[in-house]
């Protein structure tokens, strides 16, 4: 566990050609999702975008997040979106792409610039001098004591279900509330027959 997360391993990661390819893939799929005129095509490309994100998370040693993104983002969300367009009608068109709304592009571009300007404040990927590695009071505590205190080899699970269990309880109740809210909004009393 500790060797898997040791600074030397993280330092050696760097930016590889595979990661660059993944980033380009994610950028292209994100832009195409916005541009495609056909909603079905946009949903399929959005699923590809989620899958690309899941692979990136896995690359950055966050397999728990990657698994969630693949199951929820690429899987369940795509099914829900497909279900939604199956119940709607769309005007027929021969155009492949949506006409570009330039004021919207300007607003989004400005927002991206503002957010992007904070990027320089982040440490480089795998930087051994990043605060999380030089000052590991919290993360170090979890990595050192999680197994002894909880008996779970996956430190993420021990944080989610034990150390930060109150947060997880809130999240679980939010999921439950989403189900109830959907019934309220749709004016139904039952999910199935």
Q: Where on the chain is the footprint of another protein (CB under 8 A)?
A: 40, 63-64, 66-68, 71-72, 75-76, 79-80, 83-92, 148-154, 156-158, 160-162, 165-166, 168-169, 172-173, 175-176, 178-179, 182-183, 185-193
Q: Which residue, 4 or 122, has its beta carbon nearer to another protein?
A: 4
DSSP 22-89: HHHHHHHHHHHHHHBSSHHHHHHHHHHHHHHHHHHHHHTT-HHHHHHIIIIIIIIHHHHHHHHHHTS-
Residue number with CB closer to another protein (28 or 143): 143
Closer residue to another protein in complex, CB, 141/169: 169
Q: How far apart are CA 111 and CA 61, in angstroms?
A: 29
Structure tokens at 12: 């050696």
Q: How far is the CB of 37 from another protein (least distance, A)?
A: 13
Q: CB of 74: closest distance to another protein in angstroms?
A: 11
To another protein, the closest distance from the beta carbon of 24 in angstroms equals: 26
Cβ atoms of 168 and 161 closer than 8 Å: yes
Which CB atom, from 88 or from 118, has the smaller least distance to another protein? 88
Residue 49's Cβ-count burial label (10 Å; 0-12, 13-18, 19+) is buried
């Amino acid at each position: 566990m500790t060797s898997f997360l040791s600074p030397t391993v993280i330092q050696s990661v760097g930016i590889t050609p595979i990661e660059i390819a993944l980033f380009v893939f994610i950028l292209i799929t994100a832009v195409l999702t916005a541009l495609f005129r056909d909603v079905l095509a946009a949903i399929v490309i959005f699923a590809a975008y989620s899958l690309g994100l899941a692979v990136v998370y896995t690359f950055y040693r966050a397999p728990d997040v990657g698994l969630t993104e693949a199951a929820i983002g690429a899987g369940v969300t795509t099914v829900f979106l497909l279900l939604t367009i199956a119940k709607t009608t769309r005007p027929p068109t021969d155009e492949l792409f949506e006409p570009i709304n330039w004021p919207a592009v300007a607003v989004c571009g400005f927002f991206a610039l503002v957010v992007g300007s904070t990027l320089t404040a982040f440490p480089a990927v795998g930087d051994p001098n990043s605060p999380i590695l030089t000052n590991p009071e919290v993360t170090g505590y979890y990595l050192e004591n999680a197994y002894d205190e909880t008996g779970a080899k996956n430190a993420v699970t021990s944080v989610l279900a034990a150390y930060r269990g109150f947060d997880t309880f809130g999240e679980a109740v939010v999921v439950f509330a989403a189900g109830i809210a959907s019934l309220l909004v749709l004016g139904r009393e039952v999910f199935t027959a």
